[in-house]
Amino acid sequence: MSDLTNKDAEQDSKLAVLESKIESFRERLYGLEDKTKDISVVESTLENAIRRIEMVHSRIDKMEEKIKVLDNEFRGRIRKNEMWIAGAGAVIAAAITILGIAMSADAFVINESLSGEPCATQEIASKYVSDVTLINEEEEE
C-alpha cells in the first residue's frame, strides 16, 4: 500500500499545484475583465466619436454643395451686371459721340459765318458775331 499512498500523495501534490495555478489564472482573468470593462467604455466612446465625425463630414459635404450652388448663382449675377454695365457704357459712348459731332457741326457753322460765307444758320451765327463784337468793345473801353 505504500505504492498507493505514494501515488495518492503525488496526485495530491499535483492537485495542489493545479489548484494554485487555477487560482492564479482566476485572479488574472478577473483582472483582465476589469481592464476590458474600461476598454469597452473606450470603444463605445470611440464609436460615438466616429459617428459624430461622420455626421460632421456629411454636413460639410452638404454645405459645400450649397456653396457651389450659391457661387454659380453669384457668378451669374455678376455676369448679368457686367453686361448691363457694358451696355450702359456703349450708350454713354454713343451719346458722347453724337454730342461731339453736333458740337463740332455747330462750331463749323459758326466758323463759316465768321468767315463771311453763307450758311443755313445765318441768324444764329450773326447773333454770335454781334455778341462777340459787343464783348470786345466793352473790353476796349
**Reduced to 3 DSSP states, what percent helix, strand and coil does the chain have, rounded to the nearest 5?**
95, 0, 5
For CA atoms 100, 101, 102, 108, the dihedral sign is: positive
Q: What is the pLDDT of residue 112?
A: 55
Q: What is the pLDDT of residue 26?
A: 84
pLDDT at 5 over 90: no
Q: Which of 97, 90, 84, 124 is nearest to 108 (CA)?
A: 124
Cα dihedral: 7, 10, 15, 16 (round 10): 150
User: Which cell is 68 given?
Assistant: 457651389
Q: What is the pLDDT of residue 141?
A: 58
pLDDT at 59 over 90: yes
Stated pTM of the model: 0.41
pLDDT at 83 over 60: yes
The b/e string for 60-84 (b: 16+ C-beta within 10 A; e otherwise) is: eeeeeeeeeeeeeeeeeeeeeeeee
* 98-112 tens-digit pLDDT: 888 878 776 665 555
* Residue-range domain boundaries for the chain: 2-140
